[in-house]
Amino acid sequence: MTKPYNADGSITGKVMIYCIRSRRKRKVECRMSNKLLNEEEILELKASPHVESASSRSVVFTPEFKQITYDELCRGKPMRDIFEEHGIDTVALGKPRVNGFREKVDKFAKRDEGFVNLKKQKKRKVEVTTEDKLEKRVRQLEHQLAYAKQEVEFLKKIQQVDTEARKQWESEHRQK
């Protein structure tokens, strides 16, 4: 098992754990939380034109930087070189964040929205007019009416079957 802490006391990105199942050892990868960024590192990251926001726990890059990163990754350039070329300190971020960003960029490239940060976009609410509300209410009431009619028909059939069963029972017991 590798040590979960660096020499400076910060937490490493991953820890390898061996777990025993069905008499075989297999490697299980567990991610530990990334090292927290200090104020100095946060200010340095925020100064970069490629960073939308930064906090002690997370860094959000611009969609343009995500696109540039993806294009350069497709050309075979390593992530560390891409970050350093654009003035972003990879030591401050740490390996887990750098490699995690590569995984996120790959996911962004596959989705329809592309590299846009969906959390920042305001979701537009569809304006519902009074006509739409009235139509919806009419459909709801029509459905309730149809359901009530169905219930009435069901109760009529139950009553009819009950009446027939009672008549048959009375006719059988009178004859004896």
Rounded Cα distance, 149 and 171, in Å: 33
pLDDT band at 173 (very low <50, low <70, confident <90, very high): confident
Half-sphere exposure of 60 (CA within 13 A, CB side): 10
pLDDT tens digits, residue range 43-73? Answer: 888 888 988 888 888 888 888 988 898 999 8
4 SS3 class: coil
- What pTM was computed for the model? 0.49
- pLDDT at 92 (0 to 100): 83
**Residue, of 102 and 141, whose pLDDT is higher:** 141
Q: What are phi and psi of 90, to 5 degrees?
A: -75, -25
- pLDDT at 18 (0 to 100): 39
Count of beta carbons in the 10 Å neighbourhood of residue 80: 15
Q: What is the mean pLDDT of residues 145-150?
A: 97
pLDDT tens digits, residue range 18-49? Answer: 333 444 444 444 443 457 888 888 888 888 89
Rounded Cα distance, 3 and 132, in Å: 62
Percent of the chain scored above 70 by pLDDT? 74
- If we measure between CA atoms, which residue out of 93, 84, 2, 98 comes closest to residue 42? 93
- pLDDT at 121 (0 to 100): 62
DSSP string for 39-80: HHHHHHHHHSTTEEEE-SS-EEE-HHHHHHHHHHHHTT--HH
- If we measure between CA atoms, which residue out of 85, 80, 81, 88 comes closest to residue 49? 88
Whether the CB-CB separation of 14 and 69 falls below 8 Å is answered with no
Amino acid symbol at 6: N
Q: What are phi and psi of 125, to 5 degrees?
A: -90, 135
CB within 8 Å of 18: residues ≥ 6 apart: 1, 25, 26, 27, 28
- pLDDT at 110 (0 to 100): 85
pLDDT band at 15 (very low <50, low <70, confident <90, very high): very low
